[in-house]
Amino acid sequence: MAGQEKSPPAPVSAAEPQPKASSPIALVLPLLIVTGLAAGTGAAIGLILPQQNQEVPSAQAGHGQVTPDKDSGRRAAAGASLRVLPPVTTNLVGQKSTWIRLEAAIVLEGEPPADIDVLGGKIADDILAFLRTVQLAQIEGPSGLQNLREDLNDLVRIRSAGKVRELVLQSLIVE
């Protein structure tokens, strides 16, 4: 025994983890839990929020006329009229090659005044003068378009001394 040498212990190899086969229950259970949470949240929100009565106007009711919804924030006045303005075409400030064409109409309160053609021409001139001061970056995107609408509505209300309720943009082309 004295002459026998001990052999070094065999190195212990780290056992590689065997990939486990995923069971169908392990895949379906989280999906069911998430679906249940989503359904419960939707049901809770549906019960908490007030129910809105939405009536769909029928084209046959009223002989083809669509009546505004009872809860509508914008109601057409009985005496309102629509007047189409001449199209306005101009170039934008600082960019001689970029042109803008705007077609609009105005909604008048009550009876249109006798000088409606003169008023429409003055409003178109004011819109032209305003558009000549606008840069392309100011009217890009939805917020730019909304700001343009608000600015033009303010301009029209001031020019008409309150006779015009709203300016309706029919088309806006920037080329």
pLDDT, residue 77, reads 56
Q: How many angstroms separate the first and last alpha carbons of the chain?
A: 101
Of 92 and 50, the structure prediction assigns the larger pLDDT to 92
Mean pLDDT of the chain: 79
Asked if residue 63 has pLDDT above 50, the reply is: no
pLDDT, residue 145, reads 93
What is the distance between the alpha carbons of residues 93 and 128, in angstroms, rounded to a whole number?
Answer: 12
Architecture per CATH, 81-174: 2-Layer Sandwich (3.30)
pTM of the model: 0.55
Per residue in 72-103, pLDDT tens? 334 455 678 889 999 999 998 887 888 999 99
Give the pLDDT mean for 48-76. 48
pLDDT, residue 113, reads 79
In single-letter form, the type of residue at position 129 comes to: A
Tell me the domain boundaries of the chain. 81-174
CA distances from 103 to 77, 89, 92, 108, 148 (A): 23, 9, 16, 17, 13
In single-letter form, the type of residue at position 174 comes to: V
Per residue in 118-150, pLDDT tens? 989 999 999 999 999 999 999 999 999 999 999
Asked if residue 71 has pLDDT above 60, the reply is: no
